[in-house]
Amino acid sequence: MDEDRSLVDRARAGDTQAFETLVRRYQRWVFTLALRMLGDRAEAEDMAQEILLKAYRGLGRFKGASRFSTWLYSIASHHCLNSLQARRRRPASSSGGAMRSQDTAEEDPPTAVDRLANGTPRADAMLERAELARVVQAELRNLTADHRLILILRDIQGLSYEQIAETLRLELGTVRSRLHRARMEMKARLTPYLKSE
């Protein structure tokens, strides 16, 4: 994206409004990734701010070999994975954290499932979709961090296989096989919830 490149160059030269434009362009994407990876709205908001701050401080190291968006996605992906790794190393706290994650899942922004219907759905259909979205988010949290990340990048964020490979520094074949395994695992997890016609 030439427009991103121009904004990056201006931001490096001290134009804070140029970086603010980049933030407005990508903050929703960064927040959604953090929310889907971490499962907690407040933690995702903090994480998104940390990621964007890290990108701002790292602009001098951005070589321009890839697009700015790919570089930012890489920072965001690795930051989320590192946070999950640190979370696993911390001693388990009270069950309040788990409850808070489930409570905030209902406040998540609309998912692909929520956007399927055209027009105004009936109340029972809205409740069913909300329940399905809650289940999908809960089961997404049960995937390994690597599977969760690749599924979010491809199926929720819409990145191409090539963009994912560049972002995660993986071979294209690894992206395809990891995504296939993640989808199969997610399908197996969701199958009990789906109604058989």
Per-residue model confidence as pLDDT tens digits over 15-36: 999 999 999 999 999 999 999 8
Q: Residue 10 corresponds to which tokens in the numbers above?
A: 């201006």
DSSP output for 83-143: HHHHHHHSPP--THHHHHHHHHHTTSPP-TTTTS--S---HHHHHHHHHHHHHHHHHHHHS
Report d(CA 51, CA 75) in Å as an integer: 7
Q: What are the pLDDT tens digits along the chain (197 aa)? A: 467 999 999 998 989 999 999 999 999 999 999 998 888 889 999 999 999 999 999 998 888 888 899 999 999 999 998 888 887 777 655 444 443 444 444 444 444 444 444 445 556 565 666 676 777 778 888 888 889 999 999 988 889 999 999 989 999 999 999 999 999 998 888 888 776 44
Report d(CA 171, CA 53) in Å as an integer: 29
Report d(CA 12, CA 28) in Å as an integer: 22
Report d(CA 138, CA 33) in Å as an integer: 15
DSSP class of residue 192 equals G
Report d(CA 143, CA 122) in Å as an integer: 32
DSSP helix/strand/coil, 62: coil
**Longest alpha-carbon distance in the chain:** 60
Name the pTM for this structure: 0.65
DSSP class of residue 66 equals S
